[in-house]
Every structure is written in structure tokens, then in C-alpha cells.
Amino acid sequence: MDKMNPNIIGIIPARMASSRFPGKPMERINGVPMIGHVYFRSKMSKLREVYIATCDQAIVEYANSIGAKAIMTANTHERASDRTAEAMLKIEDADGDKADIVVMIQGDEPMVFPDMIDEAVQPLIDDPQILVTNLMAPMNTKEEHEDPNEVKVVVDHNNFALYFSREPIPSRKKGYDNVTMHKQVCIIPFRRDFLLAYNRMQPTPLEVFESVDMLRILENGMKVKMVTTHFVTKSVDTKADLMEVASMMLNDELVRRYAHS
């Protein structure tokens, strides 16, 4: 990797057949489909290019309408990382140029800020030993800490992940008011070769039990560097989340900078 000029791309994996919220990528938030919010905001980061990876023609047609580059992928992928990897290889074949870092940006993060992507990538630029990073953000309420849709993470003194869970970790059972609570924010930069290696690994027991992909890395004895972000965002997992995010984004300054809607 050329540290002075690495080839860093963003890929937004999206599909209409979400088990929890079918059709979610094209649900409108203040007039703009959710996948559009994620794309426009990601394009404002320092990424060389941003692509939408999907198996759905409706998403491809919308991407084309806003000038986004869409990559059609197989409809058999169960995990976003598999769809991201297939899209990356297709992009490389078309461009004749390998990526150094691939940022997987989940399509249900419509409030993503461009600086969040840049801060997630920086540790991979600075340290060649880091293979993958995740963003994490503080949680301030008991309700958020107990929400199974939020993936929680606990870290060591160097901000490497110790464990991920949809359960409320660390425990608050002893009544401490100052328990540090963090949630995973699904902006995940991988080194190019590690993304492929990760997808070749078999799913691991804790990954399956917790329904958290990053546990596959920990169970194989490798590290996930966590990067704290203080931007306030909310992912969309339910219709109620969609309504809450729409309210939160009513006066969002970045929306005014979108090239299309």
C-alpha cells in the first residue's frame, strides 16, 4: 500500500429482502430513499469512490438515477461482507487496479457523517498491523444499552475489542452509574486481502449465537481495532427507527449539500 496515496474505496451493501424490515433501502427519509442518504453522505468523505452493491434491480435503477455507481451481485449472499467482497473484485476487474482498503458502509446508517468514515480508516493508514477497524459510539441510556438491535462492544486499554454482544455488556447489575457503554457503528474498513480471508473463514459459534460478524475475527485469535466517534447517529432497524431518524434529520445540514434527491 502506498501510504501517501492508498486506494481506498467505499462499498454500501444493500438488499430489499431484509428479514427485519423488507424494502428498507428504498424507504424514504424526508423525501430521499435511505440508500441515497448513505451514498450522498459517504461521497463527501475522502474515499476515492463509493459504490452501491446490490442484487435488486430497484436499487440499481435508483443508483443510476442519482449518478451512483452500482454493482450487481449474487442474490445468495447472507452477509454484507460477502456482497462487499464480490463487488470489490468486480470493481477491480473493471478498473484494473486493486484496492488497498475497502470500507463497508451499511445501508441502514442514513445519518453517517463523512468524518466518521475518515476517522475509521485512519488507523489502517497509520499502522500496517491493523487489519480491520470498527467505529464505536457512547450510549447514554439504559434503553439503548438493552436494545437487542444495538450491538454492544467492550474494549481493552488500547481500544481493541474484547467482545461484542446484543446483550447489555458490560453488566450494570452492581448498580454503577458510570459504566462505560459503547455500541458498534457499522462503518467497517478492511484491508483488501483480509476481507477476502475473513470471508473464507467458517462462521464461528459465538458469531452465530450473538449474530455479530466481528466475533469471527476474535474467535480466530485476531484483533478488531475500535475507533471512538462522537457523532450522534442512529441506524434504522425498524419502522419506529425510521420515524425517529426522519425527525432527527429534519434540519440536517449535510442534506442541503446532496447533488440529487
DSSP state of 108: T
List pLDDT tens digits, range 103-134: 999 999 999 999 999 999 999 999 999 999 99
List pLDDT tens digits, range 66-80: 999 999 999 999 889
pLDDT of residue 2: 60
Listed in sequence order, the residues at least 6 apart from 221 whose beta carbon sits closer than 8 Å to its beta carbon are: none
Task: State the Cα–Cα distance between residues 104 and 51, nearest whole angstrom.
Answer: 10
Half-sphere exposure of 188 (CA within 13 A, CB side): 22
Mean per-residue pLDDT of the chain: 93
Name the pTM for this structure.
Answer: 0.93
Q: Please state whether beta strands 161-165 and 49-54 pair in parallel, antiparallel, or not at all (unpaired).
A: unpaired
- CA 20 to chain centroid: 17
pLDDT of residue 1: 59
- Cβ proximity of 13 and 107 under 8 Å: yes
pLDDT confidence of 182, banded at 50, 70, 90?
A: very high
User: What SS3 state is found at 174?
Assistant: coil
pLDDT of residue 186: 87
> What is the pLDDT averaged over residues 231-254?
92
User: Domains in the chain, ordered, with CATH?
Assistant: 8-257 (3.90.550.10)
Task: State the Cα–Cα distance between residues 150 and 213, nearest whole angstrom.
Answer: 13
pLDDT of residue 140: 85
pLDDT of residue 261: 44
Q: What would the grid cell of residue 82 be?
A: 460477502
> What is the pLDDT averaged over residues 192-198?
97
List pLDDT tens digits, range 134-181: 999 999 888 999 999 899 999 999 999 999 999 999 998 887 667 889
Burial 182-215 (b: 16+ CB within 10 A, else e): bbbbbbbbbbbebbeebbeeeebebbeebebbbb
Residue with cell 468486480: 90
pLDDT of residue 3: 62
> What is the pLDDT averaged over residues 253-260?
85
Which stretches of the chain are DSSP H helices?
34-43, 57-65, 80-95, 114-126, 142-145, 192-200, 205-210, 215-219, 239-248
Weakest-pLDDT range from 10-19, 85-94, 199-208, 212-221: 10-19
